[in-house]
Chains A and B, each alone.
Chain A
């Protein structure tokens, strides 16, 4: 591979110096463009991979449980891996945790407030527990890391923890596939699907083009977000947990809006629950494998508790819901998200000490 390309990807200073010389508005514009690239890239890549998977004769249920499920989390994963790789662990971890909070608090909260979201009890009683369980596992491992860290050392999520999460990810994908086979009538009429496969070069172009957009988007977003944090006088974690997390959750938000428009908000529930699990196992797992993630103090007293409050609220709502989620439940999730964001900007609560 050309040295220039490696330098461009690996050398943080190249883009950081470039971004540092730009006015704030231009950097914000770059952030918007990179977020759009991430989103479009994920869309293309999923389209291409799904097409290839269908050519191999894989059943839709397998494709749904793997490719499609991972797809909307690709932007978060690439941004966090890129951030960890470039030495911004706060951004990597902040993006993962912030995305869980944005997905559940903002996107699901908003959906719930706007329309009646039906409860798919079979799936929610299973993946709903994995959702809280994986977040609790992350917090538990982080607490152990804190307790075992030497004096003056920062607790760390090691590469082994990252690898452990990725192994759990494979197990989770398999289990969701098994649950999906048990939950629905799989003999539904595929004959009604008038889907034409795209030609092979097109499928590959979409995969390669999508991947390129995601890599470029993530590569440009990371230094731009860091620079905005410096200019705004807020810590990198705050930008990661709010602005970047919102940006990388755009696929989930777009999907949620499309699902409301088409009258099928039940898709959003599955999507959000799945995304939360993947944000821990896939996003934080892959980022920790790329580089060990130091855990700043503020995660213990602010980001982790905020994440657990939102996820436990959601878990309680699932167990209390009969046929559909209530509007006030959406309002509560949205309010927690609002407080979480506001505290970070007004009192600088979320910033690293």
Chain B
């Protein structure tokens, strides 16, 4: 497995490093830490600078560069101490685009980014690099959350590096991407330090209380039985390699909310979901559960593509 970890020296990026250091990735996993220096001036703008301005600009650029290199060294050392093989890279440009580009060049299995658990208006105002990376990359993305005060009350503690029992909630709906999510989990270095809950949420049409008719429809009842069996089969794949696996099947009008609530209930360190990019019409028709959870969760989220 090849992991690309993006850092900018912030608290959230630090949390991502700490998370990755202790996470039970398979042995032999390689990591690259990348940091992006935002481009302040474009080439044609630099040409318009006076010689004095250019000297100040170059000095500041080189200062930035060495600061970032120092940061990368210290974070690489931290990961190295945890036993991972690490390389580093500094890039200049638009952060999200460079992170996605670096992941392509590195052929990363997974991109890891840190993010504040911003909610509501703050997220609308600030957006975020993690969200841009999630939206624009075709690779799996792990968003490590260091929640803001909005998530207070359900704020998860970041896992300690040693001896932590990882609690992982896996959303499963029988689709190809969710099968991949199960496969990802089975590829982890599992022993008794991980506890899984595999969750299937059956979507109900709550509008005009059609859920009541839905429950009485034998086609739906048959589908429910099939989903139950598929859920147990997925859980059995995990049980073959670790003991701590439970399952849950629930019905909800809003699948995303149900998964978020299950994450809180399970006190999950990580929510793992399959994610298939969809076109605009498909998004309108079928909705997009994973991006909503990635945006709204106060807990870390891994979207497997």
Residues of chain B contacted by A114 (CB below 8 angstroms): 285
- Whole-angstrom distance between the alpha carbons of A271 and B204 in the complex? 15
Residues of chain B contacted by A67 (CB below 8 angstroms): 209
**A interface with B by C-beta (< 8 Å):** 42-43, 46-47, 50, 60-61, 63-64, 67-69, 71-72, 114, 118, 120, 122-123, 180, 183-186, 188, 192-194, 251, 254-255, 257-264, 266-267, 270-271
Residues of chain A contacted by B216 (CB below 8 angstroms): 60-61, 64, 180, 184, 186
Residues of chain A contacted by B207 (CB below 8 angstroms): 43, 251, 254-255, 258
Query: Does B203 reach chain A (CB closer than 8 Å)?
Result: yes
Within 8 Å by CB of B217, from A192, A260, A263, A267, lies A267
Task: Pick out which of these stretches binds chain A: B79-87, B147-155, B218-226.
Answer: B218-226
Check if A266 sits within 8 Å of B220, measured CB to CB. Answer: yes
Residues of chain B contacted by A255 (CB below 8 angstroms): 205, 207-208, 210
| Distance from A334 Cβ to chain B, minimum over Cβ atoms (Å) | 17
Closest residue on chain B to residue A118 by CB atoms: B219
- Whole-angstrom distance between the alpha carbons of A270 and B217 in the complex? 9
Take A193-B251, A254-B207, A261-B287 as given contacts and tell me if A122 and B213 are in contact as well, using a CB distance cutoff of 8 Å: no
Check if B203 sits within 8 Å of A184, measured CB to CB. Answer: no
Interface size on B, as a range, is 20 to 34
- Whole-angstrom distance between the alpha carbons of A121 and B220 in the complex? 14
Check if A192 sits within 8 Å of B205, measured CB to CB. Answer: no
**B interface with A by C-beta (< 8 Å):** 203-205, 207-210, 212-221, 223-224, 249-251, 285-287
Total CB contacts across the A-B interface at under 8 A = 97
Residues of chain B contacted by A264 (CB below 8 angstroms): 203, 205, 214, 220, 223
- Whole-angstrom distance between the alpha carbons of A255 and B206 in the complex? 9
Check if B208 sits within 8 Å of A68, measured CB to CB. Answer: yes
- Whole-angstrom distance between the alpha carbons of A323 and B213 in the complex? 20
Check if B219 sits within 8 Å of A266, measured CB to CB. Answer: yes
Check if A46 sits within 8 Å of B209, measured CB to CB. Answer: yes
Q: Give the top 4 A-B pairs by smallest Cβ distance, nearest first.
A: A262-B203, A64-B212, A266-B219, A184-B218
Check if A71 sits within 8 Å of B208, measured CB to CB. Answer: yes
Check if A72 sits within 8 Å of B205, measured CB to CB. Answer: no
- Whole-angstrom distance between the alpha carbons of A71 and B212 in the complex? 12
Closest residue on chain A to residue B214 by CB atoms: A267
Residues of chain B contacted by A71 (CB below 8 angstroms): 208-209
Check if A120 sits within 8 Å of B213, measured CB to CB. Answer: no
Closest residue on chain B to residue A251 by CB atoms: B208
- Whole-angstrom distance between the alpha carbons of A22 and B205 in the complex? 39
Check if B210 sits within 8 Å of A68, measured CB to CB. Answer: yes
Residues of chain A contacted by B205 (CB below 8 angstroms): 255, 258-259, 262, 264, 267
- Whole-angstrom distance between the alpha carbons of A258 and B213 in the complex? 14
The contact sample of 10 A-B pairs, CB cut-off 8 A, is: A60-B212, A68-B208, A69-B213, A114-B285, A192-B250, A255-B205, A258-B210, A260-B286, A262-B204, A264-B214
Residues of chain B contacted by A42 (CB below 8 angstroms): 208
Take A192-B250, A255-B205 as given contacts and tell me if A185 and B213 are in contact as well, using a CB distance cutoff of 8 Å: no
Residues of chain A contacted by B224 (CB below 8 angstroms): 188
Residues of chain B contacted by A192 (CB below 8 angstroms): 249-251
| Distance from B280 Cβ to chain A, minimum over Cβ atoms (Å) | 14
| Distance from A327 Cβ to chain B, minimum over Cβ atoms (Å) | 15
Check if A64 sits within 8 Å of B213, measured CB to CB. Answer: yes
Residues of chain A contacted by B204 (CB below 8 angstroms): 262
- Whole-angstrom distance between the alpha carbons of A104 and B153 in the complex? 49
- Whole-angstrom distance between the alpha carbons of A271 and B212 in the complex? 12
Residues of chain B contacted by A188 (CB below 8 angstroms): 215, 221, 224
Residues of chain A contacted by B212 (CB below 8 angstroms): 50, 60, 63-64, 68
Residues of chain A contacted by B219 (CB below 8 angstroms): 118, 120, 266
| Distance from A125 Cβ to chain B, minimum over Cβ atoms (Å) | 13
- Whole-angstrom distance between the alpha carbons of A71 and B221 in the complex? 23
Residues of chain B contacted by A194 (CB below 8 angstroms): 250-251
Check if A185 sits within 8 Å of B221, measured CB to CB. Answer: yes
Check if A68 sits within 8 Å of B209, measured CB to CB. Answer: yes
Residues of chain B contacted by A72 (CB below 8 angstroms): 208, 210
- Whole-angstrom distance between the alpha carbons of A184 and B212 in the complex? 13
| Distance from B90 Cβ to chain A, minimum over Cβ atoms (Å) | 44
